[in-house]
A = this chain, B = another copy of it.
Amino acid sequence: MNTQNIVERIREIINDETVEQLKEELASYHEADLADIFVELKPEERLICFKLLDVDKAADMMEFLSPQLQVELLGDIDEELASSILTKLPHDAAADVLGDMEEDESETYLDKLPQKFSDEVRELLTYNENTAGGIMNPVVLTVNSDMSVKDVLNHIRSRAEEDNMELYYVYVVDKQNHLLGVVSLRKLLTSPINQKVEDIMISDIVRLHVDDYSDFIIDEFMKYQYNALPVVDLYNRLKGMITWDDVHDLFEEETTEEIYQSSGISTEIVDEDEILSGNILNAITARTPWLFITLLGEFIAVHVAHHFDHTFSMLPIVATFMPLLAGLGGNIGTQSITLMVRGLSTGQVTMSSAFHHIFREFFVGLAIGVLFGGLVMLATWGWQHNIGLGLVVGTAMAVNMTMATIIGSFTPFALKVLKVDPAVASGPVIATTIDVVGLAVYFSLVTFYLVHVL
């Protein structure tokens, strides 16, 4: 599907054709495709189209839109229509939209919603949005352990028509709603009709707690590969469930944070989605801390270089090689960091394999360093007709690249031992360290050459 072409077609229909034709065209797309189309439309076009969707389709599409766009669209239509769309959303999705509005605005909507629905959404809004309580859907199909398979199937038949219920597993609870076990739809469909639920349920189940944070939730889903997990409170009372599509969004956010952190964009002080859009001061705040640390580190590099001022006067060509050495040392070191940090995050690299990996990186650095050092030596010799200088620059290159891989692979493990998140701290700190150490090595070699050879 080419969104851009469809957007053009829809524009033409808006301008030249009837409302009926536009309505028909919009109805022909899947809600996920519609969401993509809406992103590309201009606000006034978006509003025209949104009003022409039927309520169910509008609600289905909402779940694929960003929170900002959801709030914008609901704010532009009349409150009656907005309320009826909200009522069609799963509770967790409704709570997400309402949580992103100004409080007085969300109160207006909550007052208009059916009592039961708004009570349940209000409860969701009391949880931190990054915890299981803030992510879960509170509408879960529960049954009692003494029901038969037949009872359960009838119960499902009577309840599952409800719009906002997701159905993967049936949860078994006692009268006080304590979670006792789980039965999959598949098990239900393949068990004798008169068997008791307690005989077919799995009682040894993985469960989440309302206060569990999103990174823990992601780990549990990724590890056990379930479709859905139940969420309980302190007393093991079932409060809701989280399904894998909720986790998919969390996972994408976490990946974005990991990638941001690797280039020194802090997601600790500023929320991840504030950095690319939203208040520009937040973007600046997120990007400054590690740049500032780089600034301090590079001042050390300046001081190191300053000791060799007299060398630059005597042999200014020495200075011209500094960016070359710093650039390549930094690049190969960043590769090592990336491999270790990502490996630690996926579990391919473990603390017990640290020495293996550092040694491997050392060897890779040495091999590439010797190759590149050789190239640089030949290039410098050819260019400056000075084999001594070529040897110095080439050797510095080889040593720098080897050291960069060692520092780059060692530091993430060291940070982890110190309980500092390697993803957050590794990048800029190591890049600067490699700059400083690399220049020191280079200048030492230059000095040795000047004193002993020339």
Contact = CB atoms under 8 A, between A and B. Distances in A.
Count of this chain's copies in the oligomeric assembly? 2
A259 B342 contact: yes
Interface in A171-214: 185-186, 189-190, 206
Interface stretch (A12-20, A76-84, A98-106, A283-291): A283-291
B321 A319 contact: no
Interface string A151-184: 0010011001100000100000000000000000
Interface in A247-285: 248, 251-252, 255-256, 258-260, 262-265, 273, 275-277, 280, 283-284
Contacts of A223: 32, 36, 64
Contacts of A222: 248, 252
Contacts of A291: 328, 331-332, 368, 372
B189 A368 contact: no
A349 B276 CA distance: 8
Contact of A302 (B189, B275, B324, B352): B324
A302 B276 contact: no
Contacts of A295: 324, 328, 372, 375-376
Given A263-B262, A428-B331, A309 B320 contact: yes
A140 interface: no
A224 interface: yes
A322 B322 contact: yes
A328 B375 contact: no
Interface residues of A, number: 107
Contacts of A309: 316-317, 319-320
28 contacts: A32-B223, A64-B223, A156-B189, A161-B190, A227-B244, A258-B259, A259-B259, A259-B262, A259-B338, A263-B334, A264-B331, A265-B339, A284-B367, A288-B371, A294-B328, A295-B324, A299-B324, A302-B324, A305-B319, A305-B322, A310-B316, A311-B316, A312-B320, A313-B316, A323-B323, A323-B435, A323-B439, A326-B326
Interface of A: 30, 32, 36, 39-40, 64, 66, 153, 156-157, 160-161, 167, 185-186, 189-190, 206, 222-225, 227, 244-245, 248, 251-252, 255-256, 258-260, 262-265, 273, 275-277, 280, 283-284, 287-288, 290-292, 294-295, 297-299, 301-302, 305-306, 308-313, 316-317, 319-324, 326-328, 330-332, 334-335, 337-339, 342-343, 346-350, 352, 357, 360, 363-364, 367-368, 371-372, 375-376, 379, 428, 431-432, 435, 439
